[in-house]
Structure formats: structure tokens, C-alpha cells
Amino acid sequence: MIKTAGKFKWLEEGTHGRPVILLHGLMGGVENFGEMVDFISTECKVYGLDLKLFEGRGLLKVSVKSLSDYLYEFMNHLKIKSAVLIGNSMGGHIGLIFTKDHPERVDGLILTGSSGLFEESMGSSFPRRGDKNYIRTKTEEVFYDPKVATDELVDRVFEIANNRISVLKLLGYAKSAIRHNMANDIPKIKKPTCLIWGAEDKVTPPHVAKEFHKLLPNSELNWIPLCGHAAMWEHPKRFSEIVLQFLKNKF
């Protein structure tokens, strides 16, 4: 169920349980979490925040830090005292920054294909305007199974790539993520953290997950085989099982 209030737009599912906030990545939206929401909302109160990456924010305010601040405003708006954050790709990076700045508002972290440690985790190249075959190839690389990259998804990425302001914002977020490397901060994050990684992730390869696991003092690492960069999208049932088990064990 999509809700809007003021400048916020979010998906909300579930009637009880611990609050869980979903944070999508650079080329995504709340729909990236798909079926996973159905699985975990039986036990959790789920909020999927639309980060509105390409609307409403001027070019000078394009940064991962500004997105962390946006999450803070959202939680205050809905009077969510604290939550578990689930972040994919740049969403994981936002979750890490938010946890560093507002530890009292975070119960735990679930990171999948997160950026925050390595430059290549933002992808080695950016969409080329006007070349739909190239866009399709780059979109398919996000997944282990290229068929997950539907025509609808390719059309959406193509639309972003052909809007000059959107491309400038895309590059702004990516450069901000590279500048905002978390290697020195991550060892200080003591929150229970669940890393869920696609074993065939090409965007944030397995060595990135291992490095996160090594640096995060209170972390566990789970692999999903035959899976790329968006584990919650490609394998929603298995991803959800890991999430619910983690929540049961830690809280």
C-alpha cells in the first residue's frame, strides 16, 4: 500500500511487529523489494521509503548524507522511534551513514549488495543516452538471471539515462558515495548486522561482502547462490527467510 504525506512517499505493509525500513538503491525504487515485503510483513511493520532520487532535490543537495537526513525526517514524521534498516546497494550506504549519525534510532542493519567500502560498488560505468541495447545489457548485469531485467525496468533506466538532470543527479550521488567511504567508520558500528549477498554479484562482488563482515564487529554473512546484486528481488523467499531468522535470533 503506497502512502503519501507532505514530501514523503512510502510503501507500508503489516500491522504489528518490529518496524523495518527498506532503502532502495541508485537505480531503484521501493518496488525493488517486491514479493519480499509480502513475506516479512507477516511478522514486521514494513515501511519502504521512496528516496525520490530524481525529483524535488536540487543538484547541490545531491548526496548520500542528504538521503540519510531525509530518512531521519521521515522517521520523525511517522514518529518511528527506532527501526531495523534493510538497504540494497546505495540504500545500504545510507543505512550505514544513518547508523553512524543516529545510533539510538537503529535496532539493527540488514545490508545486501551495499556500497560504502569500494568505488567499484557504484558500478564501473554509467548509462549512455540513446543506446537502449547498452542500457539493457547494463541492467541485466545487475542480476544473475538476465530475465529479471524486464522491459518495464529497462524502460525506466532508459528514461533516467535520457534526462539530463537525472543523469547529473545520478553522477552526483555516485560521486558522493565514493567520497563518503565508510572504511574508518564501519568498525565503530556495533549494531547487529546481517549481510545477505548474491554469490554472483558483479556490482559489489563477494570480496566486498567479506570485507564488510571483517570490519563490522557484530555481523553475520549469508550467501545466496545463483544470485546477483539485488538478492531481495531475485530470491525474495530465501532472502526473507534469512531476514526473519536474523530478527528472531537478535531481538
Domains identified in the chain and CATH numbers: 2-123+180-250 (3.40.50.1820)
pTM score, two decimals? Answer: 0.94
Q: Is the pLDDT reported for residue 65 higher than 60?
A: yes
Q: Is the pLDDT of residue 161 over 90?
A: no
Q: CA 132, CA 128: separation in Å to the nearest integer?
A: 8
DSSP 138-195: HHHTTSSSGGGS-HHHHHHHHHHHT-HHHHHHHHHHHHHHHHS--TTTGGG--S-EEE
Residue range 14-56, pLDDT digits in tens: 999 999 999 999 877 888 888 999 999 999 999 999 999 988 7
Q: Is residue 126 pLDDT above 60, yes or no?
A: no
Residue 96 · residue 189 · CB < 8 Å? yes
3-state secondary structure of 169: helix
Query: Each residue of 164-209: pLDDT tens digit?
Result: 898 889 889 988 998 999 999 999 999 999 999 999 999 999 999 9
pLDDT (mean) for 119-123: 51
Q: What is the residue type of 203?
A: V
* C-alpha span between 45 and 82 (Å, rounded): 12
Dihedral, 221, 225, 229, 232 alpha carbons, nearest 10:
-80
